[in-house]
Chains A and B, each alone.
Chain A
């Protein structure tokens, strides 16, 4: 008789906390620091339970001093520790970016590979709940643009746990971006499809490997975090019209799995990229360029559904209008068909 494995659905927040706890149990060098990540368990719930289990020595609430604690993460990592550091909102990177892109990202190179900087920087992204222009950005491209940091961003709890485990074990700096609307905190609204079965045992999701989350033949939709969910919804809408869309979850921006995207577009001949980050100079251009450079034959001009090049507005009518969504992807497909 086979025993069905019990479904254990977790939010991304719980999955992240579980991965961190499991690594902390087996590796004394792993510790966590950031604002309100201690007894409160993180504003976004991703360190819940850690302070109770590991105490204040390894789960450290910091002062509001990002410049200092981001630099401290670099120093501790270079000296043999494996810090996980939280930047509460990615929008706050401005007060500590030097430590990130000039130190964390470059010290390995500057030292000819002698110095390792195994920091995991976890940070929340995304809007949709009227938190306005200093608390709603994604900034995917800002981080992915600068060499020396891996950048991952899960769309569901399974990937969140596996990517976090892989990030902690990685000997390089890894930026772990989690989208607030996928986090499973009810007060931020929750994408139900992000809450999925998560195995209890520890596992890694390889960093730099995209996932084909829906197979199709007519169109490739590429996204990351929220973009994946918009893509899946659009694919379901298109399926009702007999159009078969393939959806790719990049899961990482650095390294970028161009091969999976190119293979898919070779099959479908059509490409739409969805990104909640600002459109210009962004993820969408990088993906489309990567396909174009390979001379992949296209049946229609590629499209992008990304955030317009404006600061994120507060008021719901403006913000909701500006955000990517499934309808915009369907409209982009219609535009492709009209012009092809």
Chain B
């Protein structure tokens, strides 16, 4: 499946938006955290897992989804949320802990929920998979269209929930796609030290469903394979497991010294940064100019800057609001 020019530009724009968003968050996160790094301090407190480098996974898959389709994501959710069309202002405000945030500051960066576009995420590894299976089941039982996509890291593929969800989705032939973002690391543990096989797509065979491995962090290849899998699910032919080789250009979380990385790894990954690569592809293969490129970049920056301004300008919730929304 090949993306149209518009789809390519959409993917490219989402990747830029996501990357610039993370770059801004990274900077703001460090505000107020000097002289000694203390996670609790500054306008963005708590853990922060950035998605720099993993944008192709988000855009290549979400290019095929509408707001009506369901996505569950992980502790590293921003790129997927952006590509799924989560309200950027309210997501940013949530990350800042503001009253205007998606949950009024209750959830924060690891608990982004935007019901309008059927997006949610969770900080417990692999636990987004069951809910994706359930959402797909719900669509099936209600005879409603729509597919569910569960994003997860390669580390999550060693959880029980991974295997149980694959089997359940397969045996009930549900419209769900499991997307493993293989960034080679689970915190400090290399994939090779934690996973008995090289690529997780092989595990699909154990559940009798199609499995695909996509090398090279390539948005066009991801668009192709994910598109086929999603079409297949929409036709009622059941789940697919996809593993994508991607790059974590940031630390596991902000404050990670990354001492576990082999020398030169980071540099090699940056040399393969998917965003400049896609820019070059557009310039080479499409009717795309430097001027158009600059305009797109300026547009994404303006959008992100506005979201951040919105978050900064918003009020904090009143402390007592903590007691609300436990039940509805």
Q: Determine whether B264 belongs to the interface, using a CB cutoff of 8 Å to chain A.
A: no
A-B contact count (CB 8 A): 147
Residue from the list A35, A43, A186, A321 in contact with B320, Cβ < 8 A: A321
Closest chain A residue, CB of each to CB of B41: A189
Proximity string of chain A (307-340) to chain B, C-beta cutoff 8 Å, 1 when within and 0 when not: 0111101111111111000000000000000000
Chain B residues within an 8 Å CB radius of A91: 124
Q: Determine whether B188 belongs to the interface, using a CB cutoff of 8 Å to chain A.
A: yes
Q: Determine whether A94 belongs to the interface, using a CB cutoff of 8 Å to chain B.
A: yes
Stretch touching chain A among B102-110, B214-222, B233-241, B281-289: B102-110
Closest chain B residue, CB of each to CB of A91: B124
Closest chain A residue, CB of each to CB of B257: A40
B40:A130 contact, CB within 8 angstroms: yes
B187:A134 contact, CB within 8 angstroms: no
Residue from the list B108, B161, B194, B323 in contact with A63, Cβ < 8 A: B194
A316:B322 contact, CB within 8 angstroms: no
Closest chain A residue, CB of each to CB of B194: A63
A318:B46 contact, CB within 8 angstroms: no
B194:A64 contact, CB within 8 angstroms: yes
Interfacial residues of chain A within 258-316, with CB under 8 A of chain B in the complex:
308-311, 313-316
Q: Determine whether B276 belongs to the interface, using a CB cutoff of 8 Å to chain A.
A: no
Q: Determine whether B37 belongs to the interface, using a CB cutoff of 8 Å to chain A.
A: yes
A314:B188 contact, CB within 8 angstroms: no
Q: Determine whether B125 belongs to the interface, using a CB cutoff of 8 Å to chain A.
A: yes
Residue from the list B106, B110, B158, B189 in contact with A315, Cβ < 8 A: B106
A310:B323 contact, CB within 8 angstroms: yes
Q: Determine whether B97 belongs to the interface, using a CB cutoff of 8 Å to chain A.
A: yes
Q: Determine whether B145 belongs to the interface, using a CB cutoff of 8 Å to chain A.
A: no
B108:A95 contact, CB within 8 angstroms: no
Proximity string of chain B (310-323) to chain A, C-beta cutoff 8 Å, 1 when within and 0 when not: 00000011111111
Once A43-B187, A316-B97, A321-B322 are accepted as A-B contacts, the answer to whether A186 and B317 lie under 8 Å apart by CB is no
Once A129-B39, A187-B39 are accepted as A-B contacts, the answer to whether A36 and B189 lie under 8 Å apart by CB is yes
Q: Within the assembled complex, what's the spacing in Å between the Cα atoms of A314 and B94?
A: 9
The smallest C-beta distance from A196 to any residue of chain B, in angstroms, reads 21
Q: Determine whether B193 belongs to the interface, using a CB cutoff of 8 Å to chain A.
A: yes
B260:A318 contact, CB within 8 angstroms: no
The smallest C-beta distance from A55 to any residue of chain B, in angstroms, reads 14
B105:A313 contact, CB within 8 angstroms: yes
Chain B residues within an 8 Å CB radius of A309: 326
A315:B111 contact, CB within 8 angstroms: no
Q: Within the assembled complex, what's the spacing in Å between the Cα atoms of A313 and B36?
A: 25
Q: Within the assembled complex, what's the spacing in Å between the Cα atoms of A318 and B105?
A: 8
Q: Determine whether B280 belongs to the interface, using a CB cutoff of 8 Å to chain A.
A: no
Q: Determine whether B208 belongs to the interface, using a CB cutoff of 8 Å to chain A.
A: no
The smallest C-beta distance from A298 to any residue of chain B, in angstroms, reads 29
Q: How large is the interface on A (under 10, 10 to 19, 20 to 34, 35 or more residues)?
A: 35 or more
Chain B residues within an 8 Å CB radius of A186: 36-38
Q: Determine whether A246 belongs to the interface, using a CB cutoff of 8 Å to chain B.
A: no
Residue with the highest number of chain A CB atoms closer than 10 Å, among B126, B187, B322, B326:
B322
The smallest C-beta distance from B202 to any residue of chain A, in angstroms, reads 16
A315:B188 contact, CB within 8 angstroms: no
Proximity string of chain B (180-197) to chain A, C-beta cutoff 8 Å, 1 when within and 0 when not: 000000111100011100
Interfacial residues of chain B within 241-257, with CB under 8 A of chain A in the complex:
255
Once A95-B161, A187-B39, A189-B38 are accepted as A-B contacts, the answer to whether A313 and B106 lie under 8 Å apart by CB is yes
B158:A63 contact, CB within 8 angstroms: yes
B195:A317 contact, CB within 8 angstroms: no
Residue from the list A39, A135, A310 in contact with B260, Cβ < 8 A: A39
B40:A129 contact, CB within 8 angstroms: yes
Interfacial residues of chain A within 111-145, with CB under 8 A of chain B in the complex:
128-135
A310:B326 contact, CB within 8 angstroms: yes
Chain B residues within an 8 Å CB radius of A109: none
The smallest C-beta distance from B79 to any residue of chain A, in angstroms, reads 20
B187:A35 contact, CB within 8 angstroms: yes
Once A94-B124, A129-B45, A129-B46 are accepted as A-B contacts, the answer to whether A314 and B97 lie under 8 Å apart by CB is yes
Q: Within the assembled complex, what's the spacing in Å between the Cα atoms of A317 and B321?
A: 10
B189:A130 contact, CB within 8 angstroms: no
Once A64-B159, A95-B159, A95-B161 are accepted as A-B contacts, the answer to whether A314 and B39 lie under 8 Å apart by CB is no
Closest 4 CB pairs of A and B: A314-B108, A315-B97, A315-B105, A321-B319
Listed in ascending order, the chain B residues whose CB lies under 8 Å from chain A are: 36-40, 45-47, 97-98, 101, 105-111, 122-127, 155-156, 158-161, 186-189, 193-195, 255, 259-260, 316-323, 326
* 11 interchain pairs, CB-CB under 8 A: A36-B189, A38-B188, A39-B188, A129-B38, A130-B39, A130-B40, A130-B46, A133-B107, A187-B39, A315-B108, A320-B319
